[in-house]
A = this chain, B = another copy of it.
């Protein structure tokens, strides 16, 4: 990095805007208006993404990923967490840098480079708060996004989805969508919703127990209609495979 170009090396800022955008994933029940619940009565979970509706041009009224300018005193990850909180009122269970997008023409107002993070959010009933500059905040099923997204956000979303689907195969992140303790059925439902493939319950149990990522607790789920399942808890881990560098 860093010498300007051969002359003196004094520091000056650039005529360039640095933003952070966040692709926010969550598992939510399938919209009952779109399709009624299963006969069995259990709730089908579906992968959703949070979008905000822009109140101003460019792309007025279009849906977009939440994001905003990086402040001088905050790290990129802090900025992502702040965008999340300010624009949506949510808190992320997991936050990881995805990619940095910087085509010169991606924002018509001027050169804008965007560091994109993706966030996994627990499916509890957290309330959505529309921040300033937006007319609406809403969850959309990942396979049915509304009309053209603003800027290059469709491309960004596509890449985030690709990476999430890929990563869930080898990294232990699925539990980030769930409450602190969960059943294997719930965890399996997360996999199935994201990969869109059925897993064999028995094989899934062995695989995930052998991975050492989760541990069985003493507790069980009471009051169900059937044999009560054990509750599991995730083993905390922050290895490189799961996130980026230590920084």
Interface residues of A (CB under 8 A from B): 1-6, 9-21, 54-56, 64-65, 67-70, 72-76, 97, 99-104, 107, 109-115, 132-134, 151-152, 155-156, 158-159, 162, 166, 240-241, 244-247
Do B240 and A162 touch (CB < 8 A)?
A: yes
Are A102 and B70 in contact, with the CB atoms below 8 A? yes
A245's contact among B15, B21, B99, by CB below 8 Å, is which? B99
| A56 and B240 within 8 A (CB) | no
Known pairs A72-B111, A166-B241. 5 more at Cβ < 8 A?
A1-B64, A1-B151, A5-B69, A11-B107, A76-B102
Other-chain residue from B16, B72, B75 in contact with A18 (beta carbon distance below 8 A): B16
Interfacial chain B residues near A102, Cβ < 8 Å: 70, 75-76, 115
A21 to chain B: closest residue by CB: B1
Instruction: Assess the A115–B100 pair: CB atoms within 8 A.
Output: yes
Residue of B nearest to A57 (CB): B9
A246 contacts B155, C-beta separation under 8 Å: yes
Q: Is the CB of B2 within 8 A of A19?
A: yes
Chain B residue at minimum C-beta to C-beta distance from A103: B75
Q: Count chain B CB atoms within 10 A of each CB in A4, A15, A68, A245 and give the residue with the most.
A: A245
